Chains A and B, each alone.
Chain A
Amino acid sequence: MTAVTARAVRQQQAGTPVELLGLRRRYGAVNALDGLDLTLVPGELLALLGPSGCGKTTALRILAGLEQPDAGRVLVAGQDVVGLPAHRREMGMVFQQYSLFPNMTARDNVAFGPRVRKQPASERRRRADELLELVGLGSHGDRYPHQLSGGQQQRVALARALAVSPRVLLLDEPLSALDAQVRAQLREEIRRLQRELGITTLFVTHDQEEALSLADRVGVMRAGRLEQLGPPEQVYHAPATPFVAEFVGAMNRIPGRVVGDGHVEVLGQRLEYAVDRLRSPGAPVEVLIRPEAVLPVPADAAATVVSRSFLGPVTRISVSSPQGGLVLADVSSVEAAALAPGTAVAVQLRRHPVLVRDPR
């Protein structure tokens, strides 16, 4: 059913290109956006990821027309829409807070956009039912929002946003009010629908797992600027800056020392590092290493296992080492059996380039 319905839902929006150019926005003393440039390829799902206050929501709201930029341009399908009020931008938006109209049934909520566009009653009803079907709530059309669970409400909100055949879909942390299981399920559905409909989608989140699993490309933001933009794998495995490295995924910061020709010495091992600027040999640095790149091996050595927490397929071990302080290691749960707290271990590091930063 979904393929047929999805084709019916997909109308003119064969994926619209979006460009944000030099966006600036200031709230009092706070620079929410400090010259943001961002291009969305037609049909892609781009996730903006960042800590709260990094400007990601402001960027989305400017694209929606709910905020005005102080400077910069917003191009949708090549046209500047900065002067266009929100209700004429043809965008579908799902909010973090539950935003269904409490006085309307699920069906009337979905039909609100078509109704405002003066579509005939029979047609908008048919379309609303079709979209409710698409989000798996075909039998819930007569329910009021207070009779729906949080996850169901967000599904209806998604259907409502799609009902206007938006040129761009804007998702403002739509999953963060839901509990973990519903969140994972709805995440998959958003992905499936977005692929089927081919709508250019901007997804704003502070949850890195959500961003990495959902997006075609992830943009990591910090202080109103893009820190890195790339496919999830690249952002995770080849972070452009220490900030990205630490924000996306867990990260160890282990004291080390530059030893010349692009290498650092850390925990008694020599590793290549991504040279960001000239550092003189002997300079103290902090070396950023993912827990999965750390291998504690039982040995007669100075480091000891402090604690062990089971995370399913992997187990996170914390090791206390005389040179490195507390180091986290993710090992497969099978191997972790030999690493009970108190075990003496040697800490080995996987040999791939690492990022370094100046000690705080």
Chain B
Amino acid sequence: MGAYFLVPVAAALEFALRGPNGTHSLAAFRDIAAQPELVPMLTVSLRIALGTLLITVALMVPTVVWVHLRLPRLRPLVEALSLLPLVVPVVVLVVGVLTAFADAPNLIKGTPAILALEYVALAMPFSYRALDAGVSAVRLPTLVEAARSLGANWPTVLLRVVVPNIRTAIVGSALLTTALVLGEFTMASLMLFDTFPTWMVRVGQQQAGVAVGLSVLVLLTSWALLLALSIAAGRPRGATSLFRRSS
């Protein structure tokens, strides 16, 4: 199982290190730092990621909490709905989004901001499941009723009781979302936006070693983040499943 993930990574790493005539060197990694577009492109993608996860948290936390408290019987249905973005082809999503936002102000449809809106949907299978697992792990109905009987209104209940107790799940879904944004090529490319992944593909057409080295770095960084998360959460089993879903 581990080999299934590790062999391609090792192969990519070996390719990035490969120099002319069978030699190996760190030249490709030195070239990464020299790319003038590295920082701007990374900034674009990180900003999209930030927007995506802000919208995701603001939208998904209340949704998941509400489903758990008031509509527990609909949980399977909502879970199935959250998986739809995995089933619907990205091309269809793109066309759908372009139609839906045809009349939106240019600030949204003409800038990568629209990508954040799309990535919220694209990340839903991951963010919903991470939050759902986190909420299931605490006795939410009782905690909420206790807080209400002590005089807390709904906003206070959410901020003081619900969010602190599902913090790990929120961080988890945020990380998964970030990892997704940093690796999403198809949609950005189809919408003719330049983001970190599309830039990486472009670089790869000229300097394969640099692009592959970069992708190895991104991969290892997101793994390190997930690992840190799983250690912080102290739940090895949950961590493994997060790990697999992100790969």
Stretch binding the partner chain, chosen from B94-102, B150-158, B238-246? B150-158
A102: chain B residues at CB < 8 Å are: 138, 165
Most chain A beta-carbon neighbours within 10 Å: one of B138, B151, B156, B160: B151
Identify which of residues 202-235 in chain A touch chain B, using a CB-to-CB cut-off of 8 Å: none
Among B4-12, B81-89, B141-149, B220-228, the stretch that binds chain A is: B141-149
A residues near B41, Cβ cutoff 8 Å: none
Of the residues A91, A99, A161, contact of B143 by C-beta under 8 Å: A99
Nearest chain A CB to B33's CB is how many angstroms away? 42
- Which residues of A sit under 8 angstroms from B146, Cβ to Cβ? 93, 95, 99-101, 157, 160
Cβ contact of B153, chosen from A87, A95, A161, A163, cutoff 8 A: A87
Q: Take A86-B145, A116-B156 as given contacts and tell me if A99 and B139 are in contact as well, using a CB distance cutoff of 8 Å.
A: yes
Q: Give the residue of B139, B164, B167 whose beta carbon is less than 8 angstroms from that of A98.
A: B139
Smallest beta-carbon distance A157→chain B, Å: 8
Interface size bucket, B side? 10 to 19
Interface flags for A87-127 (1: CB within 8 Å of B; 0: not) read 11111110101111111000000001100110000000000
Knowing A101-B165, A116-B156, the reply to whether A93 touches B149 (Cβ < 8 A) is: yes
Cα A297 to Cα B83 in complex, Å, equals 74
Tell me the residues in window 123-179 of chain B with beta carbons closer than 8 Å to chain A beta carbons.
138-139, 142-143, 145-153, 156, 160-161, 164-165, 167
B142–A112 CB distance below 8 A: no
When the two chains form their complex, are residues A101 and B149 in contact, meaning their CB atoms are under 8 A apart?
no
A101 CA / B165 CA spacing, docked (Å): 8
Closest residue on chain A to residue B153 by CB atoms: A87
How far apart are B65's CB and chain A's nearest CB, in angstroms? 15
Q: When the two chains form their complex, are residues A86 and B149 in contact, meaning their CB atoms are under 8 A apart?
A: yes
With A103-B164, A103-B165, A116-B156: A66-B145 Cβ-Cβ less than 8 Å = yes
Chain A positions within 8 Å of B, measured between CB atoms, are 64-66, 85-93, 95, 97-103, 112-113, 116-117, 157, 160-161, 163-164, 170
9 pairs of A and B residues whose beta carbons are closest in the complex: A113-B150, A93-B149, A99-B146, A103-B164, A86-B148, A99-B142, A116-B151, A97-B142, A116-B152
